Chain A
Amino acid sequence: MPPTKVDAKFDNEKTEDVLTRAEKLSLSKKDLVEMYRTMIKIRLFEEMADKLYALGKVHGTMHLSAGQEGVAVGTGTVMHDTDYLLNHHRGHGHFIASGADIDKMMAEFLGRETGYCKGRGGSMHIADVDANNLGANGIVGGGIHLAAGVGLAIKMKEEDNVVLVIFGDGAANQGILHESFNMAAIWDLPVVYLCENNQYGMSAAVTRVSSKVPFKGRAEAHGIPGYFVDGNDVLGVYEIMKNAAEHARSRKGPVFVEAMTYRYFGHSKSDRNLYRTKEEIQAWKEEDPIGRFETLLLDAKVITDADIDEIYQEMNQAIDEAVSFAENSPEPDPSDVTEFVYA
């Protein structure tokens, strides 16, 4: 991993033998391949979204997470379908990793009635409340207070699931994190806080705008256990998130994980990357989470080059079908613009 802006030791284990690690984590070869496939699916989905934007088919803005697939898939593989998810604005990967339907996601990008939010939300607000996906958020840190309430309600309803709230390094500097940490800690709420540290809040380098990193110290100050993990190591994320989710699931209270990663695209569509160098981006691409995992899987003969070609082909086809579904879906009727304001 290139020198990150955060100088600290990772808490995940590091051995190069992927099969030994997988065995320790109770992951089968099939699981490993599935994780790899999902990472490819996310990457290709976002590249397609970027392309559609360039073609003028997606309007507004979007926040791409390419480079962060290790965090999404390591996390998504751990979480249960019944767990609640509060996602951030750069959340496509997390949705796909949690099992979202890419047809409905793509339709939402294109503002179609068949999209997850019937074209009312767009990329930044994808939600599937019936599946306990409580939405991506356009407000930096906008899920952090909701998480305390979801955790409280889980406890009141005596459900056995947990709530996962994901936010970035930028949101870690919002005051609400302190309020939410405190509430979750005093009430022992089953909240898993995941800070996906991609090292820039828009253009602000995390070390320039944060008093102390890694952020896990802030959680620990509230008596919440904190972990710092290499986010580009999908198995490392899986290992730490598994322990974290288990902590919350066994009703030991809230837990905090910070995953170190990097985004390749700009913050949003207006970004000209003036605040970082091409060399820095390139150095991180050499630590690409998909590339690293692929090498491990090839070396361990879990997959072959032919398998990889097949996976790419299959995923490209699935994404083309999603685009086709979206493009052939109707747009909302303008006369319905005031629908859904009130229940």
Chain B
Amino acid sequence: MPEITYRQAVKDAMVEEMRRDERVFLIGEDIGTYGGAFGVSAGMLEEFGPERIVETPISEDAIVGAAAGAAMIGMRPIAEIMFMDFILLAMEPLVNQAAKARYMFGGKATVPMVIRMPSGSGTGAAAQHSQSLETILMHIPGIKVVAPSTPYDVKGLLISSIRDLNPVCFVEHKLLYKEKGEVPDEEYTIPLGVADIKREGSDITVVSSGIMVHKSLKASEILADEGISVEVVDPRTLKPLDVDTISKSVKKTGRMLVVHEAVKTAGWAGEIMASISETPAWDYLDAPMRRLAGKDVPIPYNPKLEAAAVPQVDDIVQEIRAIVHNKY
């Protein structure tokens, strides 16, 4: 299989869907000649023209509102929000309009739209360009939230998101854009709501998404040398959440750690732990479930502080050791 980058996988999914379905279009800031702030849509203007690569003013509220309006009358917009932080400027059309139209109107509307947004820290962009706000989006009935970690998952999940009839928030971790991985040439999709076991193991289940999958896999390799066998489960879709796959893994390993970059308080780790405590896996636990998350701070500028604000490979290693060696 050919290797492509995470960035290329995003673009390939959009390009292929735009070729397949003329209702699909991309709307956002600087997505044309500039190619998007992270270069994802570079070259798409040349192929599809300004009618389908719709460059907007800096108006996030109207971008998401316009995407929702277009979706309601049968188009399939993909809105690019330059940084996930800026979705906060568009919460009204997302939460009050797109997410609710179907329910409010008694099942008579569909709002098939995707909002792509790069999340996460690690670029030195500080507090307003580095947030991981997935939980805020997961809290809203009517919205689906996807957060892929590999190029393969990006492509298969983005195609499914574009074809989905609901508003889907597609969270891309900006440090992963250069990450390479195998992606088949032929068309494929990955259903939303299905988790993937990224590494099999028997001593502990680590649930993580986005960049934390990669950090968890690195930690697993270090721990393998110590005889600790880690299973890494990537939910891939945070809402709807595949509790079943996680629960089965926990039944097998008897331990669970949830790792995310988003801040700890009211983060989705809590949701996963609560969900597992409601399943029979609870009876199989040999140790308290734990979570390792971003500290409850805005992302700082200084690189050492920035790194200290979110879980790193060493933190994951230490936390797993403590759980497996019954330190809690």
Contacts and interface: CB of A to CB of B under 8 A. Distances in A.
A183 B103 contact: no
A134 B56 CA distance: 24
Given A179-B62, A183-B57, A183-B59, A146 B108 contact: no
Interface stretch (B70-78, B171-179, B195-203, B265-273): B70-78
B62 A145 contact: yes
Interface of A: 84, 86, 115-121, 125, 127-130, 132, 134-135, 137-139, 142, 144-154, 156-157, 175-176, 179-180, 182-183, 186, 339-343
Q: Is the interface of B mostly helix, strand, loop or mixed?
A: mixed
A328 B85 CA distance: 50
B57 to A, nearest CB: 6
Contacts of B102: 340-343
B69 A148 contact: yes
Contact of B56 (A115, A135, A183): A183
Given A138-B96, A342-B165, 15 more contacts: A84-B73, A125-B105, A132-B73, A142-B93, A145-B97, A149-B71, A149-B77, A150-B70, A156-B51, A179-B57, A183-B62, A183-B66, A341-B103, A341-B141, A342-B102
Contact of A144 (B65, B104, B105, B112): B65
A118 B74 contact: no
Contacts of B52: 156
B58 to A, nearest CB: 9
B254 interface: no
Contacts of B75: 153, 156-157
Interface of B: 25, 51-52, 54, 56-57, 59, 61-62, 64-75, 77, 92-93, 96-97, 101-110, 112, 141-142, 144, 165-166
A291 B179 CA distance: 71
A145 B106 contact: no
Contacts of A144: 65
A31 to B, nearest CB: 29
Given A139-B96, A145-B66, A147-B69, A182 B105 contact: no
Contacts of A146: 65-66, 68-69, 72, 93, 97
A139 B92 CA distance: 9
Contact of A142 (B67, B73, B97, B103): B97
A119 B71 CA distance: 24
A144 B166 CA distance: 21
27 contacts: A117-B105, A117-B106, A118-B106, A120-B103, A134-B109, A135-B101, A137-B97, A145-B62, A145-B64, A146-B93, A146-B97, A148-B66, A149-B68, A149-B70, A150-B70, A150-B72, A150-B73, A152-B54, A157-B75, A176-B61, A176-B65, A176-B92, A179-B61, A180-B65, A182-B57, A183-B62, A340-B102
A316 B112 CA distance: 42
Nearest to B67: A149
Nearest to A122: B104
Contacts of A157: 73-75
A144 B61 CA distance: 10
B104 A149 contact: no
A139 B66 contact: no
A194 to B, nearest CB: 16
Contacts of A138: 96
B70 A153 contact: yes
Nearest to A165: B69
Nearest to A181: B62
B108 A129 contact: yes
Most chain A CB inside 10 Å of its own CB: which residue of B66, B74, B75, B112:
B66
B74 A176 contact: no
B107 A149 contact: no
B66 A117 contact: no
Given A118-B106, A186-B57, A341-B141, A148 B73 contact: no
A151 B71 CA distance: 11
Contact of B106 (A119, A186, A342): A119
Contact of A180 (B62, B74, B101, B109): B62
A135 B100 CA distance: 11
A194 B111 CA distance: 24
A118 B61 contact: no
- A-B pairs, top 7 by smallest CB distance, nearest first, are A145-B65, A149-B69, A149-B66, A118-B106, A146-B69, A343-B165, A179-B62
A146 B92 CA distance: 11
B68 to A, nearest CB: 6
A118 B104 contact: no
B54 to A, nearest CB: 7
A130 B110 CA distance: 11
B104 A139 contact: no
Most chain B CB inside 10 Å of its own CB: which residue of A120, A154, A179, A183:
A179
Nearest to A139: B96
Contacts of B101: 127, 135
Contact of B104 (A117, A152, A183, A186): A117
Contacts of B25: 156
B70 A152 contact: yes
A121 B85 CA distance: 31
B64 to A, nearest CB: 7
Nearest to A132: B73
